[in-house]
Amino acid sequence: MDGLDGPNYVGTGCFFSRRVFFGCPSDFITPEIPELRPDHAVDKPMQAESTLVLAHHVADCNYEKNHTNWGSKLGFRFGSLVEDFYTGYRLQCEGWKSVFCDPDRSAFLGDIPIALNDVLNQTKRWSVGLLEVSLSKKSPLTFGVQAMGPIMGLCYAHYAFWPIWSIPITIYAFLPQLSLCSGVSIFPKVSDTWFLLYIFLFVGAYGQDCVEFVLAKGTFKKWWSDQRMWMVRGVTSHLFGSIEFLLNCVGVATQGFNVTNKVVDNEQGKRYDQGMFEFGVKSPMFMSLAILSTINLVAFLEGLIRVLRGRDLDGRFFVQVFIAGFVVLNCLPFYEAMMWRTDKGKMPTKIIFVSIFLTFALYTTGTFMLKE
């Protein structure tokens, strides 16, 4: 995107020219109040009564509803929970361009949530908002392609359809493992030519991602944590966000807007600095993480036993054992939070016991349905 019309706006680390909020580059839209023009020169003190009255008037929640262009043609655009992404997208559709600037000295500093529940709730909200954009009349696949061209439109679509990653990630997190526990092979054997395709896709995708991450001034450790969080979001915030969006579409009331908590206490900060996940609260999204961790551990152990007993000499279960083992490796911090940690950031006991019960139910149902 940086080599085309410029990178997208994602909420922080950005300066705007005031002019961009008043129509496209060739068509200036005059605001309803002259004092709101981008070229208006302030000639009264900030504490003047007339200034305060006008400020309260335009800041009122009902101002935009009174047949104004704010939120549709002027200012930040309404209609999505990701107002930053949507606004930047609409501005570039109107013909505005952005420039990426990365000085040696940090240009912006800010706070981020460090507790896992806060991170996932924030990402869930983003997932709902992104689907509101991607499946609307202003979808990047239709409106965006027409306004910016196919490449920029597809770039925005890549981000807008971000939540649907939950579908393949969730499938790969459970189906191969349940099939392995049932003795059902769903991938090619090691001796099969198609096996090389799976090796190529896995090594190629992860290798390219790792190289690009390191070249962008990252480290291998940070990359490993990043790809782990990609999988975590796939079975939690993206999945729950997609479900919430579908419920909203059919008129079912959901939890609504949640303000992201960025307040950090000393103990949380210490655990964060040590690279420890912060659980601590009872969240439905932790339930799916606990079930995922448990079912993959069971499948991996069953796969190892199968190999040690010589029941997989032709390698037909190799890919499934490898996937389960890879997930187990990523879930090591979760096992620690479930079994060994004693601090306040550990996995809540209720979540652990309920997840074990649900894992047993899923295991029993899966093996019954997939049994050869």
| Cβ burial, residue 303 (10 Å; 0-12/13-18/19+) | buried
The pLDDT of residue 257 is: 55
Amino acid identity, position 5: D
The pLDDT of residue 52 is: 85
Task: State the pLDDT confidence band at 139, using cuts at 50, 70 and 90.
Answer: very high
Task: State the pLDDT confidence band at 264, using cuts at 50, 70 and 90.
Answer: low
Average pLDDT, the chain: 85
The pLDDT of residue 213 is: 92
The span from the CA of 147 to the CA of 152, in Å, is 9
pTM given for the model: 0.84
Give residue-wise pLDDT tens across range 41-69: 777 787 788 888 888 887 777 777 767 78
Task: State the pLDDT confidence band at 206, using cuts at 50, 70 and 90.
Answer: very high
Task: State the pLDDT confidence band at 273, using cuts at 50, 70 and 90.
Answer: confident
Of 178, 166, 170, the residue nearest 320 (C-alpha):
178
User: What beta strand segments (E) does 162-286 contain?
Assistant: none
Of 192, 79, 200, the residue nearest 143 (C-alpha):
79
Task: State the pLDDT confidence band at 372, using cuts at 50, 70 and 90.
Answer: low
Mean pLDDT of 79-85: 87
Report the 10 Å Cβ neighbour count for 258. 11
